[in-house]
Amino acid sequence: MTPTVRRIVANLAVADPAADAPFWTGLLGLDTPMDMGWIVNHSVGPHSAGPYSAGTAQVQLISRDATAPEDSRVSVEVADLAALQSVHDGAVAAGYEIVHPLTDEPWGVRRFFVRTPQGVVVNVLAHR
């Protein structure tokens, strides 16, 4: 089964996600559908498919991941929990390093982190 990717979002490492808000929301006019302090999502609205999954362009500013041992550089949301399990199983079978195990996070996602062959840490997730 080929997982259906719903979105891919760049995760930019910054010291203070709130400090860049005027650039993303003021200058570029993006919405801020998610702000948890340590991670802020700015995107092109409207947010008709849910608070974190709509918009044609998104960027996330991350100061430090709240639960994972490393920060990811990109987030890939798949269609559903079955697709997430499929990607996880495929990553394990292929021998990729799982950086953060499959975890149900308190903000409503199930996710894991996997390292690409070139060392990029990817956050793969599905909303619960």
Q: Where are the domains of the chain?
A: 5-127
pLDDT digits (tens, 9 = 90+) for 89-124: 999 999 999 999 999 999 999 999 999 998 999 999
pLDDT tens-digit map of 18-30: 999 889 988 888 8
Q: Which residues contact 42 (CB under 8 A, 6 or more apart)?
A: 21, 24, 25, 28, 30, 31, 32, 58, 59, 60, 61
Q: Which two tokens stand for residue 114?
A: 């996997």
CATH 3.10.180.10 corresponds to the domain 5-127: yes
